[in-house]
């Protein structure tokens, strides 16, 4: 039945508007919907009466041609997930603070430069993505979100992480990168539940000693930083299973690195490291070892102790021969080399599990 728009209720007006996007909804379906999605690159201007969607839990506007939100967005009392990534949103209404059920807020790759003060009232917020935004300072109202579990800041224009980041006691995932970042606060060590930490920044020169307090940390990735040494406390992180050090200024490894016996993945790539000690053999849980782009010219014989090893990346290294002990392992190990790289296999490994894989990477 056709609806006379001039005399229509706000619910009927919303139905007319939604069906302009070929949704073909009935009024009953509209009022009970929990998920609303708009295709990418479709022009969308949410009407004030979007608030009629009282059951809505997920609003996905990622990639839509959207520049603003109506103040009534705060009336979506059951909304749990709001995705505004890759849109033209430059600011959020203060009413966003009324979304008490909100768990995920994605503002990635938007021109937004600041957050409303009311965002600090979103006590239930668990995931916040500010990657690729114009935000230059992490406001205090974010560091008061004590229920936050995931914070994404890669890349970011933020020049300094505040000491208040240590207040995020529930945080499990933290990633940040940026050309302006110069330091990491000591309060990072207060994040007792942190499991995944990834960061980069060419002006970062050191890690805080407090990083050794991150007892729950499982994965640590550091790349493209001006770090020439690592704190001793790092080697006490017994829960660590993945350690990735890429393009740092390290030229040697401390012996204590081999205390990380729980590692299953170790990347030591594009650095000035020239030697691995026999301590490598302590990492018997190791499944992947990446030494690409280092000056290492010889692998220690203790590599034969790595019974779990499945992948060995040697592209761009001066290694010309694999140790005999590696050939004694009776399972398949993939050895990745550049196309022009020549390497001598151990005599006892020529007919066993070593599988050479060449490609065009150098």
pTM given for the model: 0.93
Instruction: Please name which of 188, 194, 182 lies closest in space to residue 164, comparing C-alpha atoms.
Output: 188
CA 122 vs CA 2, 42, 80, 170, 305: distances in Å: 41, 29, 11, 14, 51
Q: From first to last of the 362 residues of the chain, give the pLDDT tens digit.
A: 456 666 789 999 999 999 999 999 999 999 999 999 999 999 999 999 999 999 999 999 999 999 999 999 999 999 999 999 999 999 999 999 999 999 999 999 999 999 999 999 999 999 999 999 999 888 888 999 999 999 999 998 888 899 999 999 999 999 999 888 899 999 999 999 999 999 999 999 999 999 999 999 999 999 999 999 999 999 999 999 999 999 999 999 999 999 999 999 999 999 999 999 999 999 999 999 999 999 999 999 999 999 999 999 999 999 999 999 998 888 899 999 999 899 998 886 555 789 999 986 44
Question: What whole-number distance in Å separates Cα of residue 227 and Cα of residue 214?
Answer: 19
Handedness of CA 148, 175, 245, 225 (dihedral sign): negative
Question: What whole-number distance in Å separates Cα of residue 113 and Cα of residue 93?
Answer: 13
Q: Which domains does the chain have, with CATH numbers?
A: 241-362 (3.80.10.10)
Tabulate helix, strand, coil % of the chain (nearest 5): 25, 20, 55
Question: What whole-number distance in Å separates Cα of residue 265 and Cα of residue 289?
Answer: 6
């Amino acid at each position: 039945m056709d609806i006379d728009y001039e005399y229509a209720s706000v619910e009927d007006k919303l139905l007319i508007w939604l069906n302009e996007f070929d949704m073909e909804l009935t009024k009953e379906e509209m009022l009970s919907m929990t998920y609303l999605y708009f295709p990418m690159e479709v022009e969308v201007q949410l009407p004030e009466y979007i608030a009629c969607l009282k059951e809505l839990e997920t609003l996905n506007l990622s990639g839509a041609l959207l520049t603003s939100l109506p103040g009534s967005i705060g009336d979506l009392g059951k909304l749990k997930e709001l995705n505004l990534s890759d849109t033209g949103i430059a600011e959020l209404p203060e009413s966003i603070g009324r979304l008490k059920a909100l768990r995920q807020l994605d503002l990635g790759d938007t021109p937004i430069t600041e957050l409303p003060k009311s965002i600090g009232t979103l006590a239930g917020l668990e995931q916040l993505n500010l990657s690729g935004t114009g935000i230059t300072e992490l406001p205090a109202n974010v560091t008061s979100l004590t229920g936050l579990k995931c914070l994404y800041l890669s890349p970011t224009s933020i020049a300094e992480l505040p000491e208040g980041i240590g207040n995020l006691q529930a945080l499990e995932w933290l990633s940040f990168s940026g050309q302006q970042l110069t330091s990491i606060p000591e309060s990072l060590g207060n994040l007792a539940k942190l499991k995944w930490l990834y960061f980069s920044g060419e002006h970062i020169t050191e890690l805080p000693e407090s990083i050794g307090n991150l007892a729950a940390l499982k994965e640590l990735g550091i790349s493209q930083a001006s770090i020439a040494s690592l704190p001793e406390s790092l080697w006490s992180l017994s829960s660590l299973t993945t350690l990735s050090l890429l393009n740092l200024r390290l030229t040697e490894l401390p012996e204590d690195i081999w205390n990380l016996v729980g590692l299953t993945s170790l990347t030591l790539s594009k650095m000035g490291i020239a030697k691995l000690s026999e301590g490598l053999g302590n990492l018997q849980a190791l499944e992947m070892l990446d030494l690409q782009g280092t000056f290492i010219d010889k692998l220690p014989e203790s590599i034969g102790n790595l019974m779990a090893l499945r992948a060995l990346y040697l592209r761009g290294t001066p290694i010309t021969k694999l140790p005999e002990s590696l050939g004694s392992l009776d399972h398949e190990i993939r050895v990745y080399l550049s196309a022009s790289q020549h390497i001598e296999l151990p005599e006892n490994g020529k007919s066993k599990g070593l599988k050479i894989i060449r490609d065009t990477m150098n």
